[in-house]
Structure formats: structure tokens, C-alpha cells
A and B are shown apart, each in its own frame.
Chain A
């Protein structure tokens, strides 16, 4: 018979390991196989998912909460004190065997998936902060890739009119009623996926599914930043905080704030001393409830309102610049497009570009789109030129970023920016500013508010337009490589200094 066990004790230096040894000796003597996870001070190697899946029964010899016990869900379980395992290992092994034999459920069960973080214990705050962010990013990247590519496919098969057909508006003299509403949140009255397919076709459906995946970007980012800080209790406040970011338009920077706040609050609540009677309901009820309430109120009242008023001010300021120097306007729009990629500042610039289309000015929209394409493109280029400056997940994100950038899906750069905002955001702002300025200087025009490379037929002076994009892409790649190389040097310095602090 195959058994697995987890041992743990308050101090984690003696009983944990003695119990593990006792169970191993007892299981072997009785002719069973056993693998023990010692959740002690010397670090523990988690049991692999396969090992758990194959196990016939589970033993917890633990005086403190077993970490990640959801992994063992659906298995016959024997729970005893750590001391019982030490004094009478054979009896516990016998109980586990009996439990397995009398088990009526499926023997193989469905072990809970193991969510992991990239956070090391005992690292400095700066390192941990980066690891928190990278944990969020690593879970977000598949959403960026899946959602972004679906949106790109929507443009490829549906042309730029796919957006008009979904969200309403006039295209080539035909007026469409919006059928997608604010889709991730809900359809407009009488609309459904049937009306959506009837009007926008399957290309529209691809686009809509991509948009739904994108709606989860910031919630997943925030949720898993909080998860990295506070483990499972951080997930709910983080994800809800991220959803609120989507509703108040706070973008991924808002998501980072929500994730850090949610993680911090959940961590703090988890480490409060509470009466024993409350202990068992803390992780499932109390912490998610209280942390979600606090984070929700914080995001709506403290973060949401200033964003709304700042958006308003930024819009009127930008409108005031309308008549001024075209190249300066291109630089400003470029900086704004790259700053928060889908966040409030980006939205103001984009909305300004779309609004200018209705007044017949097509140069501004051209600059806005070009500047929104270079962030993913520049970062994708950087991952090709200097692979070792990027983590493995970032390199994967780089592969997808080519298509996303080419399709004017600026969000493709978010995984890079969320993991290392202080170096990535300035780099992509520089590239976008150059591209915005060049597009204005070349007097390029664009008649569609989206579509990227797929609407190049609607661009006036397409060759110069592509040149502007290429130059900005190169600027971003060079800048991000330079800044990240400096970090490596500075990183060594920090390491050298550390003994002096001790």
C-alpha cells in the first residue's frame, strides 16, 4: 500500500523529524511504501502531485496547521498528534491502512491543484516585493497571451469594423447598434451571444472572448500578488480589489496597489492572535471577509475617486493642447499611451485620439495607435536580443508580445511592467514618445481607432508609419536593456553591502 504523511510541530526542529522517521520505520516494517513531507524549520520539499495522487491514504501527524491541506482532499485521512506518531508509529500506519481499506470513495481522488509562489523566505524587502509582483505576473501571462491572441484573431478575420459591429457606431455609412455592451459585465438589453454572432460574426465572438479574458488580467495580477504575500487568504481580497480596478478604470497600476494592499491586510489578519475558537474559521470566513471589505472600500473611496477627477483634469488639459505644436502633442500622447497600458492615463490619450477622428483629424489617431504598438514590440525585441536579462515567464510573454504589439494590444507589455515597473515603464514611455513624435512629424494618418498592423491599408504614408513604429520599438528595446543591465550591477553592490548591515 502507498501512504503519504505530513509531520509538523510548533518549533519545527525535533518532533517533526522524529515523527517522520517513526512513520517511515513503521511503514517499512509493515511492508508499505510511505513518503513523508516534513513541514519543519529546515524547509520542506512538498510531496509531488503524482505521489499524492497515487497514495492510498494520508497521515497528518501534526500539532500545528498542515500547510496546503487541500492537496490531500478526497483521500482517506488519519490525523493524530505528532507525539502519537513518535510513540506509536505502527498503530498510526495500521489505522491508515484500515482507513484505506474501508474507504468507499474513489481511491485516486482528485488532489487539489497546488498553487505556488516564487517568494523565498528571508529575502530582503526589495527582493520580496519583486517576487510578489513576479508571482502575480506569472499567473497573469496566460491571460494576456490567450486574450490578446483571440482579440488579434478577431481583427484578422473581422477587420477593424469588428469593434464597431460589437460596440456600436457608424462604419462605411452603416450604423450599428452596440450588441456587446460592457461585455465582461453584461450585455445591453435584448442582446445576447446570439445577437452578437448575428451582427459581428464569429470574428466578433473571438474578439468578445478575448475581451473577457482580458477583463481578468488585473484581477488575476492583484489576486496572485496578494496570494504571494498572504497565501490563500489573500486571493479573495486581491481578486475582488482587481475587479474593482476594472470597474473604476484603475488599470494594472491600480491592480498592483490592490494586490499589495490585499496581501498586506490578509497577512496581518492571519497573524493576529485570536481565541482558539475562532482559529478554524479565520482562513475560510473571517480573513477573506474582513480583508475584502477593507480592500474594496479602499479601492473605491481612496483610489477610485482621485482617478476619476485626475482623468477629468487630464482630458481637459489635453483638449487645451489641441492646437499646439503637433510633434509636442505626439510626444505627450506617446508618453501617456505607454504609462499605464490600459489604465486611466492611457485611456485619456486613446479617447482623445478617437474623439479627434470625429472632427476629421486623422493624424492624432495614427500617432496614438503607433505609440500603443511599440511597448509590446520593444519588449519582445529586447527579450530576443538579451534573453538572459529576462525571466523565463517574461521570455514566453515576449513571444506573444510580437503579435499583441502588432495588433495594437498595448496590454502585451503589462507582464513586463508589472514585474519591474520602475525600469520598464520609463523605457516604453521613451519609445512611444519617439514613435508618437515621428508619426506626427511624418504627418501619417489613420481612419480606424484600432487594429494595428491589420488596418495598415487605412494608414496614410504607411512606409513612414512603419518606420516610426520601428524606431520607437528600437528605442524601447535599447532603453530597457540598458536599465536592466544597470540593475544587475547595482544588485551585486547591494549583496556586497549586506554584511555591513548585520
Chain B
């Protein structure tokens, strides 16, 4: 099974204040590694989802996501922004941004991992550990420990 997240998909110093720009930075990491085959097409899918209902959540979280034909394997990119990115949440900008890329078909095992990730996001200690992470590999370790191998 392809790794859900690797060091390259983690950006700890996002400074784009705009959600589309921030999402694009994360998505380009996936495109560079071949997880996303068509960057513009994928971003269009994410924007379409965002238009249905903004993906900002209380507690400083943004979860731009899409099931897209341009995605080769279920993948998570993570961004952290000190100043915050506005994802439309009522209580302010997002400091933790999770870009979830799921392929159109998507087999069950992968989708279950994404479901487990979504559930973990609701837990304050999980969010805090990501805020405290010092380097990309810390984030990868946390996700693998809490979500993939949980």
C-alpha cells in the first residue's frame, strides 16, 4: 500500500493567506511526486468541493479535499500556517491544513484510513501534537502512529 503521507508532503511554514494559494502549494507537492497527475484539474476538483461547502472547521482546521480522477493513490498533504489561512470557518483562520486527495474509485482499505484520519481530527490532543511537531518527519510519524497503524 502506498504511504498515505511522506516528509515531502509536509509544509510546516505555509505563508499564503489565501486558501486557493495554500491548497495549490500542498497540491504541487503531490503533483511533483506523481500522486496527482494533473495539478490544475485536481485543484479545480478541490475548488468545486470547496464551493459546495467551505471546508474550514472550528479549532483552526482546514480540510480541502476531493475525490478526483487526477489522483493515483489516497494521499494526505499537511500544511501548518502560523498566521492562518481562511478556509471559511466561523471561528477564524485555519492553522492546520489537511489536503486529502482520494482517487475516483478508491479501494476500501485506503478510504478507511481517510475515515480514521477524519475522526482523529476531532481530538484536541491529536491537533495539539501536530501544532507541536518540530520537523516534517514528526508529522509523518504522528499520522502513521495515530491513523495508519491505529
Contact = CB atoms under 8 A, between A and B. Distances in A.
Interface of A: 9-18, 20-22, 25, 38, 40-43, 63, 83, 86-87, 122
Given A41-B106, A63-B53, A86-B58, A13 B122 contact: no
A21 B49 contact: no
Contact of A86 (B105, B108, B122, B123): B122
A10 B52 contact: yes
A13 B57 contact: no
Given A13-B114, A83-B53, A87-B58, A20 B119 contact: yes
7 contacts: A11-B67, A14-B55, A21-B119, A21-B123, A41-B111, A41-B114, A86-B57
B111 A87 contact: no
B65 interface: yes
Contacts of A9: 53
B100 A18 contact: no
Q: Across the A-B interface, give the 5 residue pairs with the lowest CB-CB distance, nearest first.
A: A17-B118, A42-B111, A21-B119, A21-B122, A17-B115
Contacts of A86: 57-58, 122
A21 B112 CA distance: 14
A42 B108 CA distance: 6
Contacts of A22: 122
A14 B122 contact: no
A13 B58 contact: no
Contact of A42 (B90, B114, B122): B114
A10 B63 CA distance: 14
A13 B52 contact: no
Contacts, number: 73
B118 A13 contact: yes
A10 B49 contact: yes
Contacts of B22: none
Nearest to A20: B119
Given A10-B52, A11-B66, A63-B53, A16 B118 contact: yes
Which of the listed residues B52, B53, B105 has the most CB atoms from chain A within 10 Å of its own CB? Answer: B53
B31 interface: no
A87 B119 contact: no
Contacts of B133: none
A10 B118 contact: no
Given A22-B122, A41-B67, A41-B102, A13 B53 contact: no
A184 to B, nearest CB: 45
A13 B55 CA distance: 12
Nearest to B120: A21
A30 to B, nearest CB: 16
A14 B100 CA distance: 8
Contacts of B57: 18, 83, 86-87
B121 interface: yes
Contacts of A43: 108, 111
Nearest to B114: A13
Given A21-B118, A25-B122, A86-B57, A14 B65 contact: yes
Nearest to B52: A10
B53 to A, nearest CB: 7
A276 to B, nearest CB: 13
B90 A40 contact: no
B118 A14 contact: yes
B53 A10 contact: yes
Contacts of A25: 122-123
A42 B53 CA distance: 21
A21 B66 CA distance: 21
A255 B120 CA distance: 50
Contacts of B102: 11, 13, 41
A10 B118 CA distance: 15
A40 B100 CA distance: 15
A208 B102 CA distance: 58
A15 B112 CA distance: 13
Nearest to A43: B108
B67 A122 contact: no
A25 B125 CA distance: 13
A19 to B, nearest CB: 9
Contacts of A42: 108, 111-112, 114-115
Contact of A11 (B65, B108, B112, B121): B65
A43 B110 CA distance: 11
A93 to B, nearest CB: 14
A13 B112 contact: no
A14 B108 contact: no
Contacts of A20: 119
Interface in B65-120: 65-67, 90, 100, 102, 105-106, 108, 111-112, 114-116, 118-120
B51 to A, nearest CB: 11
